[in-house]
Chains A and B, each alone.
Chain A
Amino acid sequence: MEEHQEAGKEGKPSSTAVDLHGDSSLQVEISDAVSERDKVKFTVQTKSCLPHFAQTEFSVVRQHEEFIWLHDAYVENEEYAGLIIPPAPPRPDFEASREKLQKLGEGDSSITREEFAKMKQELEAEYLAIFKKTVAMHEVFLQRLAAHPTLRRDHNFFVFLEYGQDLSVRGKNRKELLGGFLRNIVKSADEALITGMSGLKEVDDFFEHERTFLLEYHTRIRDACLRADRVMHSHKCLADDYIPISAALSSLGTQEVNQLKTSFLKLAELFERLRKLEGRMASDEDLKLSDMLRYYMRDSQAAKDLLYRRLRALADYENANKALDKARTRNREVRTAESHQQLCCQRFERLSDSAKQELMDFKSRRVSSFRKNLIELAELELKHAKLQGPPGTPCQGAMETRSWGNKGGTLAASLAIFQCQQALHGKVQDPELGTQEQSSRRATTPINPGTDPTQG
Chain B
Amino acid sequence: MAAEREPPPLGDGKPTDFEELEDGEDLFTSTVSTLESSPSSPEPAGLAEDISTNSNGPKPAEVVLDDDREDLFAEATEEVSLDSPEREPILSSEPSPAVTPVTPTTLIAPRIESKSLSAPVIFDRSREEIEEEANGDVFDIEIGVSDPEKVGDGMNAYMAYRVTTKTSLSMFSKSEFSVKRRFSDFLGLHSKLASKYLHVGYIVPPAPEKSIVGMTKVKVGKEDSSSTEFVEKRRAALERYLQRTVKHPTLLQDPDLRQFLESSELPRAVNTQALSGAGILRMVNKAADAVNKMTIKMNESDAWFEEKQQQFENLDQQLRKLHASVEALVCHRKELSANTAAFAKSAAMLGNSEDHTALSRALSQLAEVEEKIDQLHQEQAFADFYMFSELLSDYIRLIAAVKGVFDHRMKCWQKWEDAQITLLKKRETEAKMMVANKPDKIQQAKNEIREWEAKVQQGERDFEQISKTIRKEVGRFEKERVKDFKTVIIKYLESLVQTQQQLIKYWEAFLPEAKAIA
Contact = CB atoms under 8 A, between A and B. Distances in A.
Interface of A: 213, 216-217, 220-221, 223-224, 226-228, 230-231, 233-235, 237-238, 241-242, 244-245, 248-249, 251-252, 255, 258-260, 263, 267, 270, 274, 363, 366-367, 370-371, 374-375, 377-379, 381-382, 385, 390-395, 398-399, 410-411, 413-414, 417-418, 420-422, 424-433, 438, 441-443, 445-447
Given A237-B335, A398-B512, A220 B349 contact: yes
A252 B322 contact: yes
A420 B340 CA distance: 29
B314 interface: yes
A438 B515 CA distance: 48
Contact of A367 (B33, B332, B503, B517): B517
8 contacts: A227-B339, A238-B332, A366-B356, A374-B514, A375-B514, A425-B2, A425-B27, A438-B24
Given A238-B336, A414-B497, A251 B512 contact: no
A241 B332 contact: yes
B318 A431 contact: no
A252 to B, nearest CB: 5
B504 A431 contact: no
B346 A252 contact: no
Contacts of A263: 1, 485-486, 489
A418 B336 contact: no
Given A367-B356, A414-B35, A414-B501, A255 B508 contact: no
B321 interface: yes
Contacts of A216: 353
B79 interface: no
B326 A245 contact: yes
Given A255-B314, A411-B504, 15 more contacts: A227-B342, A231-B339, A231-B340, A237-B335, A249-B322, A255-B315, A366-B359, A367-B518, A370-B517, A382-B508, A394-B37, A417-B500, A430-B50, A431-B482, A447-B35
A237 B517 CA distance: 33
Interface string B480-515: 011001100110010011001101100110111011
B274 interface: no
A446 B36 CA distance: 8
Nearest to A266: B489
B275 to A, nearest CB: 36
B48 A267 contact: no
Q: Is the interface of A mostly helix, strand, loop or mixed?
A: helix
Contact of B359 (A249, A371, A378, A391): A371
A119 B415 CA distance: 52
The 5 A-B pairs at the shortest CB distance, nearest first, are namely: A428-B48, A234-B336, A248-B322, A374-B514, A443-B29
Interface in B97-153: 128, 132
Given A234-B335, A238-B329, A238-B332, A381 B503 contact: yes
A270 to B, nearest CB: 8
B478 A258 contact: yes
A430 B482 CA distance: 9
B333 interface: yes
Contact of A379 (B24, B332, B511): B511
A398 B508 contact: yes
A238 B333 contact: yes
Given A367-B356, A392-B38, A422-B26, A230 B343 contact: yes
B485 A260 contact: yes
Contacts of B314: 255
Nearest to A270: B493
A431 B478 contact: yes
Interface of B: 1-2, 23-29, 31-33, 35-38, 46, 48-50, 66, 128, 132, 311, 314-315, 318-319, 321-322, 325-326, 328-329, 332-333, 335-336, 339-340, 342-343, 345-347, 349-350, 352-356, 358-359, 362-363, 366, 478-479, 481-482, 485-486, 489-490, 493, 496-497, 500-501, 503-504, 507-508, 510-512, 514-515, 517-518
A258 B50 CA distance: 14
B318 A252 contact: yes
B24 A248 contact: no
A392 B311 CA distance: 49
Contact of A223 (B38, B66, B128, B349): B349
B490 A424 contact: yes
Contacts of A421: 27-28, 31, 490, 493
B137 to A, nearest CB: 18
B325 A441 contact: no
A443 B325 contact: no
B36 A425 contact: no
Given A370-B359, A446-B32, A410 B504 contact: yes
Most central of A255, A267, A422, A428 by chain B CB within 10 Å: A428
Contacts of A390: 35-37
Contacts of A238: 329, 332-333, 336
A441 B25 contact: yes
Nearest to B509: A378
B231 to A, nearest CB: 27
Nearest to A370: B359
B33 A446 contact: yes
A381 B329 CA distance: 22
A245 B325 contact: yes
B483 to A, nearest CB: 9
Contacts of B33: 446
Contact of B353 (A213, A249, A377): A213
A237 B486 contact: no
B350 A424 contact: no
Contact of A425 (B1, B500, B517): B1
Contacts of A425: 1-2, 26-28
A258 B65 CA distance: 36
Nearest to B30: A443
B343 A228 contact: yes
A339 B128 CA distance: 104
Contacts of A391: 36
Contacts of B332: 234, 237-238, 241
B50 A428 contact: yes
Contacts of A270: 493
Given A242-B329, A432-B132, A381 B507 contact: yes
B510 A378 contact: yes
B37 A418 contact: no
